[in-house]
Structure 1
Amino acid sequence: MALHLAILREPYLSRILAGVKTIESRFLRVRAAPYGRVAVGDTLLLKRTGGPVVATAQAVRVVTFDDLTPERVTALIERYAAELCLDDDIRSRACHSCYAVFIWLTDVTPITDPPALSKRDRRAWVVLES
């Protein structure tokens, strides 16, 4: 089991906390975390962009996609639209991706006393422990 730090911007973080967004997706141009690094049973710390960790979640299913084309990306987004809850800006940027990781979330639990983390880089996903 691994521990991951997932940085999320609004409105996606609020959608996860409300239980509306049940799949966290990462569309990538290169194979970078969480690609190949997240697995079923892993714990995710959900951190607000520029803010604190606000919740934890468990990965119950993880699927990676390779060799994506704009058509395949569009088909994936349409197939899982209700669970992804993506806005149009993400949809248009995702079309240029070569890889994707879909992480089904469960046990989303708000944190009242967030852990202190010193992250100063621009990575949107960090593997903390494996």
Structure 2
Amino acid sequence: MGKHPEKYKVRLLHQLYPDGKIDVAAEQKLIEQYDKVVFQFPFYWFNCPPLFKQWLDEVLTYGWAYSSNSGYKVAGKKIVLALSVGIDEHECRSEAKYKYTLAELTRPFELTFEYVKADYRPFLLIMALN
């Protein structure tokens, strides 16, 4: 059971921060309240949307998310990516059109969350219909 009384909370970064000015302290406090976090976003151009990349850069700070001797407020939290993609599943293989599997393409996220000692879990895939 999570530390927060709500079972889940949905937040849309583009609605919360239309000006791109992320409230880092509020985001960190919110992450601290949950044991499981799902980041859902469209995976396009083999990456995440710019605002989520900015969120990662600004929220996962030294001294909070990682450090040489303390920090690690994300440590042990289960992290899952829920990706929506606009390609056919059969194209996501090493011998297919895009040459890499989605697991390989999302490796930077896996490494990021492992670096902050989170419990990174396999991503969920939402295939967009053409």
**Would you call these one fold, judging by a TM-score over 0.5?**
no
Normalised TM-score (structure 2): 0.25
More strand by share: 1
Greater RCO, CA 8 A, separation 6+: 1
Normalised TM-score (structure 1): 0.25
Instruction: Mark the structure with the bigger radius of gyration.
Output: 2
